[in-house]
């Protein structure tokens, strides 16, 4: 076997290739589900859906919408941004129907990510200790939803400004503005405590 074909086998399949295969054979959609099931479930949870059954239902709706609109996907954009946009819209619709916007970032696994946000804010308390992840979590939850959304996407989903722009369907400049305003609001709240 040649080294070129060995390299081809070792490299993971690109998202665009998975989409092309799924459009040709509906059974190939399972590879998309397999790739995105865990990250999208984390995203659903991070935006506040704590009920496991509701989160599973939401995830199923996300994949159904993705499958139904797969022909609409524009290959010139990252597929991950496109599917996250579908997920975001489904989650927001769910919250509207339920008339709730639950607390975000309640999972223990997210606590280490809060530390990244704490260090980015550069906020120390009067005794020169960093604020606890729980304090930061409370501050994130106190933000308006538009600020929560960009903070979760930037610091917890680790998306770039361009990806956040694609997901939320807002200009990159607006993303930067929202992130900066959210950080200022968070810093202000923390300094008052």
N-term to C-term CA, the chain: 64
Kindly report the backbone phi and psi dihedral angles of residue 124, in degrees, each rounded to the nearest multiple of 5, phi listed first: -115, 150
Q: What averages of pLDDT result for each successive group of 10 residues across the chain (193 residues)?
A: 47 86 94 96 84 90 96 92 94 78 54 63 54 75 89 89 94 95 88 75
Residues of the chain with CATH 1.10.1740.10: 9-98
User: What whole-number distance in Å separates Cα of residue 23 and Cα of residue 173?
Assistant: 34
108-192 adopts what CATH topology? Arc Repressor Mutant, subunit A (1.10.10)
Residues of the chain with CATH 1.10.10.10: 108-192
Q: What is the pLDDT of residue 31?
A: 95
**Tokens in use for 62?**
């996300």
Q: What is the pLDDT of residue 126?
A: 46
DSSP 102: P
122-158 burial string, b = 16+ CB within 10 Å, else e?
ebeeeeeeebebebbbbbbeebeeebbbbbbbbbbbe
For domain 9-98, the CATH class is mainly alpha
Q: What is the pLDDT of residue 128?
A: 47
Q: What is the pLDDT of residue 103?
A: 53
């Amino acid at each position: 076997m040649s080294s070129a074909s060995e390299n081809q086998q070792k490299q993971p399949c690109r998202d665009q290739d998975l989409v092309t295969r799924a459009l040709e054979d509906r059974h190939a959609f399972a590879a998309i589900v397999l790739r995105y099931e865990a990250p999208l479930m984390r995203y659903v949870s991070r935006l506040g859906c704590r009920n496991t059954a509701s989160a599973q239902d939401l995830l199923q709706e996300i994949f159904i919408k993705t499958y139904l609109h797969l022909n609409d996907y524009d290959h010139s954009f990252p597929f991950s941004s496109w599917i996250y946009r579908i997920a975001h819209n489904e989650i927001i619709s769910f919250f509207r129907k339920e008339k709730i916007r639950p607390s975000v970032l309640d999972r223990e696994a997210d606590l280490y990510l809060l530390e990244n946000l704490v260090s980015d804010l550069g906020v120390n308390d009067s005794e020169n200790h960093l604020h606890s992840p729980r304090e930061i979590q409370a501050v994130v939850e106190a933000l308006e939803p538009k600020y929560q959304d960009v903070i979760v996407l930037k610091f917890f989903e680790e998306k770039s400004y361009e990806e956040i722009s694609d997901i939320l369907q807002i200009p990159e400049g607006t993303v930067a503005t929202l992130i900066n305003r959210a950080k200022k609001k968070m810093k202000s709240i923390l300094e008052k405590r």
